[in-house]
Structures are given as structure tokens and as C-alpha cells.
Amino acid sequence: MTAYDPSAPSLQLTRDGQLKHFLTLDGLDRPLLTDILDTADSFIEVGERTIKNVPLLRGRTVVNLFFEASTRTRSTFELAAKRLSADVLNLDINTSATSKGESLSDTLLNLEAMASDMFVVRHSQSGAPHFIAESVTPGVAIINAGDGRHAHPTQAMLDMLTIRQHKHEFEGLRVAIVGDILHSRVARSQISALKTLGAKEVRVIAPATLLPTDVQSLGCNVEYDMTRGLEDIDVIIMLRLQRERMEGALLPSEREFYRLYGLSTEKLKLARPDAIVMHPGPINRGVEIESAVADGLQSVILNQVTNGIAIRMAVMSMAMSGQVAERSQAQSNALPKGINS
Amino acid sequence: MTALLDMDQLLDQLESGLREQLKEREISNPVLVGIRTGGVWLADLLNRRLGLDGPFGELDISFYRDDFSRIGLNPRVLPSRLPFETEGRDIILIDDVIMSGRTIRAAMNELFDYGRPASIILATLIDMGARELPIQPDVVARKLSLAPHQRVKLRGPDPLHIEVRDTDH
């Protein structure tokens, strides 16, 4: 559909560097990523109160525009928007207008006519949220909730929040990402975030058939053997085997995959003793991770889910804030010179 | 100006005003909640001066401000910290300066999201007047009237002092 231009990171930033859309982590610097994590910390505290809502987005409308099925991501976005006091509309486009032949642009025009302030977009095609951000009415924020194999920036940021909670800083950390890197938009965003935040090493561990051909250009070390790969590792991120995206015979069998790349209690001992285990979910128990590990002491998988709400609250309020700033800047520029002095 | 704003004297006045209020309302076990940043320094000092046993609370009202549609989110927001139950408690809410009253409205909205307090006493070091909302402090150490372009701010924490500055470019 669209060829998005990675050389135009300004699409998601205001002129003074505030977030106004959240499409990709590429082009966002360390201070901005740290601001997102810090703001999310404040929202974690809000989640512990009797009343978990704050009035930041009161009177605004957030549309969850999901062109691809999702339970966890959509429900945490929905909860995040509701906790910011926004009105939320969930649209599952698979079962809606596009199946009746309406184009993406027409669907969007109709939604904008409902005075929406933010679209949270998930799409199976890489670049769809960029396309929407380029064509949307000024003042409307676009949040990428996962596009094709390209990016899943809120998932990566909630993972960074989880890592920071347990390891406190990124300098010196060795992080392993294990499994289906090829089909994983999460892995791409995680690698980008870890590099920006200053992790010492990002190591991807996978069979050659599940690595993208350009893996070296992502700036991480590649390991095909899990025994060697887990050595000295502080953080293990397991990825889900995306069977629904598999075309052709990339794997001999799931059992073989588990034997070689599954995280078992035995293999976990190869990493540092205080290593934490993460998984973006949903988990295929016995395919990429042993149940005892997923539920074990080193697992922080359920922390990730809680952090997902706080990160999404942070990103939504910051992007809306950037839109507000840009609009008031445009208004003051529109005034004739001399009036506001 | 500095002679008018002797910090020890102001704190004495704040303390005695609060003791009077507590006695009048027959409150024996209040908790202090300071609004970031100046109010938190004051809450810390008054907690000791009033001889209260427990911790004091810190409020960051950034998520509750009424000007999000004009200026957006404060990028320096920190978590609020109320390390006690507020339900049914008598709360002393403290800020360094009161002017429009909008900060206090936001702070009270935030406080109620933690539970329903029995009462709130509002104490501020300085009252600048210029109110825009019907909110009045119960205890004030000093009323000031400055030129419209002047603002006061508590600086600190060590030493605590009051700064008067011009907002004119």
C-alpha cells in the first residue's frame, strides 16, 4: 500500500521535538524515550488508586481501529484511554465496512467526521499508520498498535519499562531476543529501543530461517545456538512462534524448535542467575517456553501486561499534548504581527 | 521585601495558625499533604513542627490541571505519593503560594480519587489574592499584593527562601 519514508521522522514530532504521533521508535532519541518511561511511572501510581481515572483526555474521542485481530493489545489500549477519561470507540474493521468494499481513506474520512481526536491503528500491512498520519486532519494523533512486520512501538516501550523496573538502568545490560525474529515487529522495535537506551549488547538467537536477511543492519549480534547465546545474558525476551504468518517450511517441526530454541528450566540456568524472562504474549506453552519458566520466579510476563496500560496512557497523553501544542502554535502564528506583544 | 518575608517567622505563623485550626475543629490525628514542589518542602517541615508521627503525602497535580487543552502535559510529571489511607482522614493540604485557586481545585480533585477524606484544611505560606475560583485558604502566613507582572515562588529546600520575580520579558 504505502512506502513509508524512514528519513522523515519529523512526521511524528512537533517542530520543538514533542511527540504528536507514535508510529515507530526509529528517530526518537534517548531523552524522549526516557520521558515516556518516566511519564508511565506516574501512571503506574495512578493505577494503584481507588479511582484509577485521571481527567487528562476528558471530552476527547479515541478510536481503536483494528484491521487485524488482537485481544490483549486492544483491551489495554481501551483501558488506557478510559483511564485517561476519553470516550472510546472500538472498530474491528475485518468485520466492518472494508469487507463491504469501502477504502481505507473513506473509512477514515467517516471517522474524522465523528470528531475523533486519536486513532489507535493496528494493520497487517507495514506502513499503514504512517499512511494515515500523513493524510489525517491536523490535530488528530495516530498511535501505531502494530503494523505488519514493521513496528510495535508501545509493546517495545512497555518491555523497556519492565526491564528498567527490574534492572534500573540499561547501560551494561546484555539482552537476548529469542525465536521468530523474522515475523516479529516486536523484535524490531525492541532492538531499536534497546540501542537508543544504551544497552551493552542486543543478541538475537534464532535459526537462520527465522532471521530477516538484513539482520546485521539492525546492529545486533546473531547467535544460532542457544547454549552459547544465553551466556552472560541479563534479560531474555522470548518471542511467540507466529504460526499464522509462516509461509512454506521454515521449521522442521514445533518439537524440534522447542528442543533447540525453547526456554526450559535447564537452558535458563545458562543465563545470569538474576536474569529476567519476558514474553510479549500470547504464550505458546511448550512451543517456545516451558510452563515452569513462564510461571517461575524469574518470569516478569505479568508485569509486562500491567505496564502495558501505563505505557499506553503515557504515549496517548503525550501525543495528544503534542497535537495541542502544535495547534496553539499554529494559532499564535496566524495572529497578525503586533497583536500579541 | 526580604525583611517582610523572614522564613522562620512565616513558618512560625503557619504552624500556630494550623494548631489553632486543629484545636478549633477538635482534630487530633491529621495527615499533611504537600503540593509539589514548594508545598512538599513545607509539609516536611510542618510534619516535624506539629510532631506528627506518620509520613506526609506528596501530590503532583499535572494529570489534573485544567489547562491541558491550552498547554498540554507537564513533561516533568512525577508520581504522587500518599503512603497512607485517606478515606475518613483529616487532611491538611499545603502549598507555598495561592493565587487563582486552580491548583487547589486540581489537588482536591486528585485527593478524592484516593478516597473520601473526613475534612480538608487548606494552608498556604503566601496568599497573592487574584483569585479566579471560590477557594480560600484556612491558614495563611502572609498576604502579599504585588504588581500584576510579579510572581512569588518558594525556592529550596536548603535554605528555604522566597523569590519574587518579574514575568515581563
Residue A86: DSSP 8-state? -
pLDDT of residue A3: 46
Domain shared by A30 and A143, yes or no: yes
Mean pLDDT of chain A: 89
Q: Please determine, for residue A138, whether its predicted confidence score (pLDDT) is greater than 80.
A: yes
pLDDT of residue A1: 40
Q: Please determine, for residue A5, whether its predicted confidence score (pLDDT) is greater than 60.
A: no
pLDDT of residue A341: 37
How confident is the model over A245-301, as pLDDT tens digits?
A: 565 666 777 888 899 999 999 999 999 999 999 998 888 898 899 999 999 999 999
Domain shared by A147 and A160, yes or no: no
Domain shared by A137 and A33, yes or no: yes
pLDDT of residue B148: 81
* A3 located within any domain: no
Domain shared by A194 and A253, yes or no: yes
- Cβ <8 Å between B113 and A318: no
Question: Among partner residues B73, B78, B109, which is closest to A317 by beta-carbon distance?
Answer: B73
Domain shared by A161 and A223, yes or no: yes
Which residue in B29, B35, B30 sits closest to B81, CA to CA?
B35
Query: Mapping DSSP to helix (H, G, I), strand (E, B) and coil, where does residue A57 land?
Result: coil
ipTM for this model: 0.86
Cα distance between residue A75 and residue A88, in whole Å: 11
Query: Mapping DSSP to helix (H, G, I), strand (E, B) and coil, where does residue A223 land?
Result: strand
* Cell (9 digits) for A223: 547467535
pTM over 0.95? The answer is no
- Cβ <8 Å between B71 and A320: no
Question: Among partner residues A39, A49, A324, which is closest to B113 by beta-carbon distance?
Answer: A49
Which residue in A231, A238, A242, A258 sits closest to A304, CA to CA?
A238
SS3 per-residue string spanning chain B: CCCCCCHHHHHHHHHHHHHHHHHHCCCCCCEEEEECCHHHHHHHHHHHHCCCCCCCEEECHHHHCCCHHHHCCCCCCCCCECCCCCCCCEEEEEEEEECCCHHHHHHHHHHHCCCCCCEEEEEEEEECCCCCCCCCCCEEEEECCCCCCEEEEEECCCCCEEEEEECCC
Kindly report the CATH number assigned to the domain that includes residue A102. Answer: 3.40.50.1370
Cα distance between residue A4 and residue A148, in whole Å: 13
Give the chain A residue nearest B62 (alpha carbons): A56
Domain shared by A148 and A30, yes or no: yes
Are B166 and B149 contacting, i.e. CB atoms less than 8 angstroms apart? yes
Query: Which chain A residues are Cβ-neighbours of B105 within 8 angstroms?
Result: none
What phi, psi does A167 have (nearest 5°)?
Answer: -115, -10
Query: Which chain B residues are Cβ-neighbours of A52 within 8 angstroms?
Result: 113
How confident is the model over A217-252, as pLDDT tens digits?
A: 888 999 999 999 999 999 999 998 877 656 566 677
Domain shared by A125 and A208, yes or no: no
Give the gap in angstroms from C-alpha B15 to the nearest C-alpha of chain A: 30
- Cβ <8 Å between A55 and B63: yes
Domain shared by A139 and A205, yes or no: no
* A4 located within any domain: no
Q: Which amino acid is at A87?
A: D
B70 interface with A at CB cutoff 8 Å? yes
Give the chain A residue nearest B73 (alpha carbons): A321
H runs (alpha helix) in chain A: 30-46, 72-83, 104-113, 128-135, 153-167, 185-197, 226-229, 254-261, 265-268, 291-294, 301-334
- Cβ <8 Å between B68 and A321: yes
pLDDT of residue B6: 87
Which residue in B34, B74, B114 sits closest to A38, CA to CA?
B74
- Cβ <8 Å between B70 and A54: no
* Residues linked to residue A277 through DSSP beta bridges, in sequence order: A236, A299
**Sequence-ordered list of residues with C-beta below 8 angstroms from that of A287, at least 6 positions apart, any chain:** A241, A254, A257, A258, A262
Domain shared by A196 and A285, yes or no: yes
**Which range marks the domain in which residue A279 is found?**
153-301
Give the gap in angstroms from C-alpha A160 to the nearest C-alpha of chain B: 18
B84 interface with A at CB cutoff 8 Å? no
Domain shared by A287 and A165, yes or no: yes
How confident is the model over A6-31, as pLDDT tens digits?
A: 445 489 999 889 999 999 999 999 99
B79 interface with A at CB cutoff 8 Å? yes
Cα distance between residue A81 and residue A55, in whole Å: 11
pLDDT of residue A98: 58
Domain shared by A74 and A181, yes or no: no
How many domains is chain A partitioned into structurally? 2
pLDDT tens digit at each of 169 positions of chain B: 444 578 999 999 999 999 999 999 999 999 999 999 999 999 999 999 999 989 999 999 999 999 998 889 988 899 999 999 999 999 999 999 999 999 999 999 999 999 999 999 999 999 999 899 999 999 999 999 888 888 888 998 888 998 888 876 4
CA distances from A312 to A29, A245, A253, A315, B34 (A): 19, 26, 36, 5, 28
Domain B7-67+78-166 is found in CATH 2.60.40.2580: no
Question: Among partner residues B68, B109, B113, which is closest to A324 by beta-carbon distance?
Answer: B68
